[in-house]
Every structure is written in structure tokens, then in C-alpha cells.
Amino acid sequence: MAFSGRYEIESQENYDEFLKLIGIPDDVIEKGRNFKIITEVVQNGNEFTWSQIYPTTSMTNKFVIDKECDMETMAGKKFKATVTMENGKLTVRFPNYHHTAEVCGDKLIECSTASGVKGTVTLKRTSKRI
């Protein structure tokens, strides 16, 4: 399947601005800035297990395309959401932001967009397949 694999982060755009906008504390932003985050995706048809592995912890969301499921944000907040797929791109609405993910060649491209008083900020994270 297109998404299945392990990916290591290689670049991020608007990291600080995005995390501040969604309310992540400065000390957490500072600690996470240079983490080599590993994303591990197991795709079986429309069923996904999506894990993000940090140096000190990990987070896993399991979901089925077009079915409501329980999920967790990077800040640990639990919520219900429905992940959709259109033209090979996954889309989900988190409580404070909109997230998309797609595979382009051997890269996983994730974009998270949030809006606030100072405007809209998109965190773009590019990871390479390992």
C-alpha cells in the first residue's frame, strides 16, 4: 500500500509558529525542535495504524477511512474524527487544526493548518522513507 513504511523527518517549515498557535508550551517546542521523529504507517486497505515515535514517547492512532474513530493529538488530547482519502491524500480535522498527509515518491508530506488571531499558519513536515 502507498502509505505503509517507516519515515524519518528531514525538514519542517513553520514549526515554532504553528505549535505556539495551537497552544504548545515554549519548553516543549524547544525540546521537540530537533527531534528525529519516526513515523510508522501500516496500511491494510482502508485500515491504518499511524504511529509517531519520539525519543521519549510515542503516539499511535488507528483508523478506518470514512469511519469515525477515537484519536489523540500530539498534545495528548483525545477526540473523535473521521479520516477521509481523496486522490491519495489523507485528511482529518483535529480540534485545533486541519491535517493532510500524502506520499510523493519516497517522501511523506504532512501539512497541518491552524488559524488564530494573527492569521493562518501551516506546518509542513517532510519525512523520507527509511
Looking up residue 14, the CATH number of its domain turns out to be 2.40.128.20
Q: What is the pTM of this model?
A: 0.90
Q: Provide the residue range defining the domain that includes 93.
A: 5-129
When pLDDT is cut at 50, 70 and 90, the band that residue 60 belongs to is very high
pLDDT digits (tens, 9 = 90+) for 85-104: 999 999 999 888 899 999 99
Overall number of domains in the chain:
1
Q: Give the whole-number percent of the chain exceeding pLDDT 90.
A: 69
Report the distance separating Cα 71 and Cα 61, nearest Å.
6
Which residue has cell 486497505? 45
Element (H, E) at 82: strand 78-82
Amino acid at the residue 71: M
